[in-house]
Every structure is written in C-alpha cells, then in structure tokens.
Homo-oligomer: A and B are copies of this chain.
C-alpha cells in the first residue's frame, strides 16, 4: 500500500486532509438536563413534546433545533452545507425526514441504530476529504417516548424494567464539518474512521442491548488499534455509545482476551449521561441521542478545552425491529468508530 493511501487494513481510514469541526450542538430533554452532563447541553426543554402534539414531532423538532444551533455556532446557514447525513431509530426515519426538511440540504438518510452519530460523521468527513464538499453535517436523535412506543410497551402500561435495560435518551446531536478552518471552527478534526461489520453473537434479549452490541464495539476497537498499530494509550479516551454497565464489562473483557487492556481509557456515553442511583436508569442511557448529545455536548467540549487530545468515539447500534424480535431473531450489533484529535 502506498504511503499516500488513506486506507489502513480492512476497516480503517486516515484522512489526507482531516475535516475540521466547525459547529456542534446538543439538544436534550428534562431528564437528560438533570443528569451529570446537563450543563454541557445547548438547550434543555422541560416539555417532552417540545411544543408539538406527538412524540415523533417532538423528536423531529429536536433535530431541527440541533441543526439550527450547530449551524449558528459554525456561523453558517443551511445553504452553505452541501450534504446532510441524518438518521434516527424510528421506522422509515420519520424523525429525520420531517426534522431536516426545512433546511433544504441535499440529503443522505442513514440507519445504524444507535451508532448513527458515528456513521453520519464518518460519511460527512469522507465526503469532504474525497473532494465532494466544502462543508457537510451529520445529525441524529432519539426520544424516550417515541422509542418506547415503537420498540417496547405503551408508557401508560408502566412495565417493569430489568436491571440490564437501558433508558432511551431524549436528545439530538448535530455536527458541522468543513474542509478548512473557519473563524468559528474549533481546533478539533476528524482524523480518521474505523467502520464496523454487522456482528451477531446470537443474543435475543432486547432488554440487554449492551450485551448484544459489545462484540461489535470490541471488533471496531480491535481493528482500529491493530490496523493503525497503536496501543490503547495512544488515546486519551476510548468512548463507546450506549453499552451501559453490562456492555462495558463485556467489551473490556473481550479486548483483554484479544491482548489489549482498555480499562484505563474506557468510557461509555450511556454510563455518563445519567446518574443511575438518582435517576433510576438501570444499565445506563441509550438511543442515537445518547452518543449524539454526549459527543456534541460533553466530549467535544473536553477536546475544545484540550483536556483530551485524542479520542476514539465508537457509538454502537443494536439491529432489531419489533418485527424481527417477535419473529424470534437474534439482535446483531454494529459500530462506527471515529477518531477525533486536537490540532
């Protein structure tokens, strides 16, 4: 492979001209605002409907707000963005379609379950480094109530939740990337990506998604470290999306078996976003919005302050639908790794 190649191994890219983070925003619900990261979010709305009449419209509204805030912080308008990559958890991505419509940006809909923030940033960065755009953006969201309605039980039923279950984050995160550093840009770039494969360990428990997704996360972390010939301490933080406490332990264990101790660097957005003792969220937060708001609220802020300088961000998705679950299928996982570095 030539020295100028962007490709490393089978799954990793390092960009020739790493795109800059021009803008970023995190919009959150009340419970998320009350959690440990509450002060890092751009907007916390106490109204779970965000002024609309349905949970789905509320989620769309969060996406609209996340895009508007991210654009504003970047000092840009939607017409400055060449491509938008967006997706969510709902069937046929309705939160995204209705949420981003008013922006009128050429649009690629994406679905990676809760890995969507990583998938969107991967493609948004590739699009810039490939010479196809000056500026792009990625957006994702989840909403506790729209997700419960779709995947689990009616809220009024008040079902009991096992301790392995996670709590879907109500929130939306958006990020604007650019080819060149602008006045509003921060000193953070997307240095590269490691793209995951669909991994199925045969787990069928949709109330234990951390266990379903952990193998996919570990596979991406292992590919990143071996393909770039790095040890875990290259990174200040290795941050998964929403594995929660159970998925965390499995991921660290799998990596140990593969010869890497990542326990020092390891962090999980789902564990950080809620206080499980005070907020009764069991294994942690989950949903596209979980890594979405933790990245665009907290993680990027730590990079902006240069508290951290190298972060491997690996949101993970559990690939199930109510139909596949009811038909007895397992819950495969997928993960999308993104390397953020300060410059």
Whether B321 and A92, one on each chain, are in contact in the complex, defined by CB atoms closer than 8 angstroms, is yes
User: Does A104 touch B at the CB level, under 8 Å?
Assistant: yes
Cα separation A94 to B321 with both chains bound (whole Å): 7
CB-CB contacts below 8 Å: A202-251 with B: none
Task: Find chain B residues with CB under 8 A from A94 CB.
Answer: 319-321, 323-324, 329
Whether A91 and B322, one on each chain, are in contact in the complex, defined by CB atoms closer than 8 angstroms, is yes
Binds B, one of A67-75, A119-127, A153-161: A119-127
CB-CB contacts below 8 Å: A67-114 with B: 82-83, 87, 89-94, 97-98, 100-101, 104-113
Whether B92 and A319, one on each chain, are in contact in the complex, defined by CB atoms closer than 8 angstroms, is yes
Whether B119 and A126, one on each chain, are in contact in the complex, defined by CB atoms closer than 8 angstroms, is no
Cα separation A126 to B108 with both chains bound (whole Å): 13
Q: Pick from A10, A90, A111, A127 the residue with the most CB of B within 10 Å.
A: A111
User: Does A22 touch B at the CB level, under 8 Å?
Assistant: no
Whether A91 and B334, one on each chain, are in contact in the complex, defined by CB atoms closer than 8 angstroms, is no
CB-CB contacts below 8 Å: A152-200 with B: 195-198, 200
User: Does A133 touch B at the CB level, under 8 Å?
Assistant: yes
User: Does A307 touch B at the CB level, under 8 Å?
Assistant: no
Identity of the chain B residue whose Cβ is nearest the Cβ of A93 in the assembled complex: B111
Task: Find chain B residues with CB under 8 A from A87 CB.
Answer: 111
Query: Shortest CB–CB separation between residue A95 and chain B, in angstroms?
Result: 9
Identity of the chain B residue whose Cβ is nearest the Cβ of A11 in the assembled complex: B106
Whether A324 and B10, one on each chain, are in contact in the complex, defined by CB atoms closer than 8 angstroms, is no
Whether A101 and B56, one on each chain, are in contact in the complex, defined by CB atoms closer than 8 angstroms, is no
Copies in the complex: 2
Q: Give per-residue flags for A299-335: 1 if the beta carbon is below 8 A from chain B beta carbons, else 0.
A: 0000000000000000000011111100101001010
Whether A112 and B108, one on each chain, are in contact in the complex, defined by CB atoms closer than 8 angstroms, is yes
User: Does A54 touch B at the CB level, under 8 Å?
Assistant: yes
Whether B90 and A132, one on each chain, are in contact in the complex, defined by CB atoms closer than 8 angstroms, is no
Query: Shortest CB–CB separation between residue A139 and chain B, in angstroms?
Result: 13
Q: Pick from A92, A119, A123, A332 the residue with the most CB of B within 10 Å.
A: A92
User: Does A130 touch B at the CB level, under 8 Å?
Assistant: yes
Query: Shortest CB–CB separation between residue A84 and chain B, in angstroms?
Result: 9
Task: Find chain B residues with CB under 8 A from A108 CB.
Answer: 110, 112, 119, 122-123, 195
Cα separation A54 to B322 with both chains bound (whole Å): 14
Cα separation A327 to B60 with both chains bound (whole Å): 14
Cα separation A101 to B91 with both chains bound (whole Å): 20
Known: A126-B132, A130-B130. A324 touches B196 (CB 8 A): no
Contact of A131 among B57, B130, B133, B332 (CB under 8 A): B130
Since A56-B324, A100-B198, A107-B198 are in contact, a sample of 5 more A-B pairs with Cβ atoms closer than 8 Å, ordered by chain A residue number, is A56-B323, A83-B195, A92-B320, A107-B196, A126-B130
The 6 closest A-B pairs by CB, nearest first: A130-B130, A91-B91, A92-B321, A106-B195, A97-B319, A109-B111
Give 22 CB contacts A-B under 8 Å: A6-B132, A10-B106, A13-B132, A16-B131, A56-B324, A56-B327, A83-B195, A91-B91, A91-B321, A91-B322, A92-B113, A92-B320, A98-B324, A106-B197, A108-B110, A109-B110, A126-B126, A126-B127, A126-B130, A126-B132, A130-B131, A130-B132
